[in-house]
Structure 1
Amino acid sequence: MPTLRALEALVAVVDAGSITEAAARLHMSQPALSHQLAALEREIGAPVVERLPRGVRPTAVGRSVLADARLALAAVDRAVAGGRATARGEGGQLRLACAESLTAGLLAPVLRGWLRRNPLVRLALTETTSADELARLIDSGAVDLAIGPRPSRWTGGTEVVGVEEIVAVLPHDHPLADRDHLTLGQLRDQPLIHYHPDNGLAGWLDAQAARREVEFTVAMRTRQAATAAQLAAAGVGIALVPTTAVSAGLPAALRRLRPELSREIVCLLGTPGDPLVRACTAAIQRRGISIPAAIATKLTP
């Protein structure tokens, strides 16, 4: 198979019309350039240039090779340029995975500004409801960066984003809505909108309740935290929901838990040294985890 250097030599000779000039353009010696042309001709089985008293010109075979040679060299230039842009964090593809409760409130605002600054970056997104599924996606090489609660088992690269608070969502006319805050013990006999076992929040909340010797009375299960909040607002039961999944216009009462119930949000890094991974992680950390003002006003101190 001909080398790119041999194709480059052919293009340079045809463009310059001279082996001497082509060698100078490529910063090669004339014997080295002639060697590249000879290797190409041996591969093809026919001459690609005709030597004239003054200069050279392509043969019919050389002309047939020339167009594809230019395309091959242009493709290499694009590949190198793309690699350099990716190395600067300005191009390439970044495969993301995100806990679904964090996509709208955390990831989307970060990407909006980040993509304006890096318009050549292509993104792929996978949403999950399980921190352990995020870790599996990273371990399998399916994604480059995952954002969500800390998995139960993970030994790879990690950057902390912040702490996400869990609050109780209940109808405004619920008897417990007049309390400044709630405890898990007060929820013991209350119908709870719980989560499907596929959602990692289900097991995490059960573990927190077990530590306080509380067993939930499950009224309904859902896979989505935002749906749990809406069902609570509709009067189906009380829901325990991350603040990142509560919409500002939710027609429900929000109450903090005492002691506070919270979990750490992290970035799992598939390739910590990758420039795109580093740049996106830094942008996510700068935004951090915060309670929107419209939601904070609904929470009592």
Structure 2
Amino acid sequence: MPTLRALECLVAVFDHGSVTGAAAALHLSQPALSHQLAQLEREVGTPLLERLPRGVRPTVAGRAVHADAVAALEAAGRVLTTGRTVAAGGAGVLRVACAETMTAGLLAPVLRAAAGATARTRVELTELTSADEIAARVADGAADVGVCPPPGRDGADAEVLGREPLVAVLPRRHPLAGAPGPVPVVALGEGPVVHYDPANGLAGWLDTLAATHGVRLDAVTRTRSATTAARLADAGLGVAVVPVTALPAGAPGVVRALAPAQDREVVALTRPGRDPVVAAFVAALRRRGVPVPAAVAAQLAP
């Protein structure tokens, strides 16, 4: 495989028209440059330069490989530039695995700010419903950052970004919809409930909450998406319990806190030894925190 140094010598001879000029430009001795050229010609298997009494002239093969040699040197230069820019936190491809409930409310503003700061960082986003699956992707190297509730498995570093309430979304004609104040957890057993597919981590959480309070849930339907659960509740199918980040923007429906109050941590998962791009992204998430939309906060107020 030709070395970059040998290709650099060949291109310099083309640029300067002589071994002497090329050697001076590269700060090499003429024998050293001639050695690089001879080695390159041995690897190619044919002369690339014709030696003349005054200077050199490229052969047919030399002219043919010149463009590729220039392209290889330019690509090598981009490797250095890109690597140094990424090391400074200014570019790269960031692979993010996010709980689907957190994409719009938590992640989107950070992605928008990152895109405004530099267009050279591209984010590849994967939305999932299982915190354990997100943690597995981070631990296995398939994702650089995970944003989710705390997973049940180890293998990644977790940094707490904040806590988010889990709330009840009521059908508009539900008996409790017109009453202020929180919805007792035991009231979840008094009518149909929009439940979750077992693949969603909220399914197990909701079952545990109900069992702890001696409640038997009547699951009228199941969905993998908490945002869909909120919409189904607002459409009148039954009560849904959802994290606030899953509520549809601008139209949350009838939202009430639960009694006792329920919340959960939101964490950023990374592998040890964060590179600057990952570190900057997590710092932006930390600054953002887990805000509660104003329209929701107004309904949760006592």
Root-mean-square deviation over aligned CA pairs: 1.8
SS at match of 2:268: strand
SS at match of 1:230: helix
Percent identity, please: 55
For structure 1, which segment, 236-245 or 90-99, has the greater mean C-alpha deviation from structure 2 after superposition? Answer: 90-99
The CA distance in 2 between the partners of 1:44 and 1:172, in whole Å, is 78
CA contact (8 A) 2:252 2:295 kept: no
User: 2:297 maps to which residue?
Assistant: 296
SS at match of 1:33: helix
Matches within 5 A, 1:67-78: 67-78=67-78
CA contact (8 A) 1:144 1:271 kept: no
The CA distance in 2 between the partners of 1:220 and 1:123, in whole Å, is 34
Deviation at residue 251 of structure 1 after TM alignment: 6.2
Deviation at residue 171 of structure 1 after TM alignment: 2.5
Q: Deviations 1:126-155 (Å, cap 9, x if unpaired)?
A: 111111111122233221111111111123
The CA distance in 2 between the partners of 1:159 and 1:2, in whole Å, is 46
Deviation at residue 264 of structure 1 after TM alignment: 0.6
CA contact (8 A) 1:92 1:121 kept: yes
User: 2:167 maps to which residue?
Assistant: 167
Contiguous gaps of at least 5 residues in structure 1: none
The CA distance in 2 between the partners of 1:39 and 1:227, in whole Å, is 66
Matches within 5 A, 1:1-301: 1-177=1-177, 178-250=179-251, 252-270=253-271, 272-301=273-302
User: Runs of at least 4 residues of structure 1 off by over 4 A?
Assistant: none
SS at match of 1:14: helix
Deviation at residue 271 of structure 1 after TM alignment: 5.7
Between Structure 1 and Structure 2, how many residues are aligned?
Answer: 301
The letter of the residue matching 2:242 is V
The letter of the residue matching 1:182 is V
Deviation at residue 210 of structure 1 after TM alignment: 2.5
CA contact (8 A) 2:9 2:36 kept: yes
The CA distance in 2 between the partners of 1:296 and 1:29, in whole Å, is 75
SS at match of 2:300: coil
The CA distance in 2 between the partners of 1:8 and 1:56, in whole Å, is 16
The letter of the residue matching 1:96 is V
The letter of the residue matching 1:93 is V
Q: Deviations 1:189-243 (Å, cap 9, x if unpaired)?
A: 3221111111111111222333333332222211111111111112211110111
Q: TM-score, normalised by structure 1?
A: 0.93
Q: Deviations 1:44-92 (Å, cap 9, x if unpaired)?
A: 2333223334433323322222111111111212222222222222222
For structure 1, which segment, 259-268 or 18-27, has the greater mean C-alpha deviation from structure 2 after superposition? Answer: 18-27
SS at match of 1:286: helix
* 1:35–1:216 distance in 2 versus 1, CA, 3 Å: same
The CA distance in 2 between the partners of 1:215 and 1:19, in whole Å, is 88
The CA distance in 1 between the partners of 2:33 and 2:3, in whole Å, is 13
For structure 1, which segment, 7-16 or 83-92, has the greater mean C-alpha deviation from structure 2 after superposition? Answer: 83-92
The CA distance in 2 between the partners of 1:143 and 1:295, in whole Å, is 32
Deviation at residue 248 of structure 1 after TM alignment: 4.2
Q: TM-score, normalised by structure 2?
A: 0.93
SS at match of 2:221: strand
The CA distance in 1 between the partners of 2:263 and 2:24, in whole Å, is 67
CA contact (8 A) 1:195 1:222 kept: yes
The letter of the residue matching 2:44 is I
SS at match of 2:260: coil
